[in-house]
Every structure is written in structure tokens, then in C-alpha cells.
Amino acid sequence: MFFKSNEIIQDTDALIREHSEKVSLPLSQEDKELAMKMLSHVKCSQDEEISEKEDIRPAVGIAAVQVGVLKQIIAIYIQMSEDEVIELAIANPKILSHSVQMTYLKGGEGCLSVEEDHPGYVPRYARIKVKAYDCIHDHEVILRLEGYPAIVLQHEMDHFKGVLFYDHINAVNPWEPIEDAIVIE
């Protein structure tokens, strides 16, 4: 189950700048199916054979607005190592607390909705504590994330406010060092 490439909203579409609404709980069947399809999309996108054949761009996360639905739903799938996978399909995530320390990806970020390269550092909180509704297991969860998964979730949550990763890049000096930040290779 995945979205066709022409179903993914691009940043040339004004919809990508819209705000997403919270979903009502318990999750409706429609919202649950959307969350599961989004998660499946991200998984499929990481399968070389499927992604090539179906022309799906590889991704680690997706927000509902990217498939044209203005609801606070996110799916994330990250293979951290051979036996550790971070798999999330969540609704209404809220950051309860975060570190003062920042982090960023050394190579910058990318996005399914952004075709062009936007080089530069994107500062994110290094550690976040998030309350969310787990759409897979149907209950509320508290997530404590750090490093790469924390960056991915913050990127996806930005989509709820119509914010794109390149909005955070220092326009004058995109590669300006960020003080005390953890660099992720």
C-alpha cells in the first residue's frame, strides 16, 4: 500500500503551507487507515525494488498534509541498525519538553514534498519528549527521542504548521556552525 508519486503534494502547491487540524479520538476508521497507508508508504519507499518500479522517492517519514489531508498524522520508519527499527504511526503529537542542546544533519535535510536541493544546516532539538496517540496500538504514548529519530519527528511536526525544512536554514550562511550542537553524519 502506497501513494502514487503524483499524489504527493509538492511545495509548489499552496496546500503544503496550510495548518493541520488535530484528529478526534478515538481514531476513526478512516484516520486509522490513512495512518497505516502512510506507514506502509514509507516502508515501501525504502524497498529498492518497489521504489524503482513504482517511482516512489525513498523517505523515513511523512505527514498527512503531504498526501493532501490536513490532519495531524505522521508515519515514520527508520532502520536504526540490523535489529533496531523505529516504526511510528501517530496522531496529535505534542512536544512536552526538549533539550537546550541542538542537533543537525551534517548533509542537511530533504523532503518528499521538496524536489530541489536546499543545502544548509537545519537546527533541531537534540532530545524531545513527545505525547502522542499511537495509531498502531490505539493508545496514548510518551516518546523520548534523541538524535536522528528526534530530527525526523520534528521535521514531520513542522508540516502541521506549514513549515518546511529550508525555512530553518540560515539564509546568509547556510553552513554556519551551530553552537554546542550534536552533528549527525
Give the pairing of strands 182-184 and 124-125.
unpaired
Largest CA distance in the chain: 46
The rounded distance, in Å, linking the Cα atoms of 32 and 50 is: 23
Q: Which is nearer to Zn ion, 23 or 61 (CB)?
A: 61
**Site for Zn ion contains 34 (CB under 5 A):** no
d(CA 98, CA 39): 25
Catalytic residue among 54, 156, 176, 179: 156
What is the total residue count of the chain? 185
- Least separation in angstroms between residue 63's CB and Zn ion is 7
Active site residue 49: no
Q: Which is nearer to Zn ion, 105 or 111 (CB)?
A: 111
To Zn ion, the closest distance from the beta carbon of 159 in angstroms equals: 6
Residues within window 93-112 making contact with Zn ion, judged by CB under 5 A:
111
Instruction: Name, in order, each residue with C-beta under 8 angstroms of 93's C-beta and a sequence gap of 6 or more.
Output: 72, 74, 130, 131, 132, 143, 153, 157
Name which of 86 and 172 has its Cβ closer to Zn ion.
86
One symbol per residue from 115 to 154: x for binding Zn ion (CB under 5 A), - otherwise; what is it?
Answer: ----------------------------------------
Q: Which residues bind Zn ion (CB under 5 A)?
A: 111
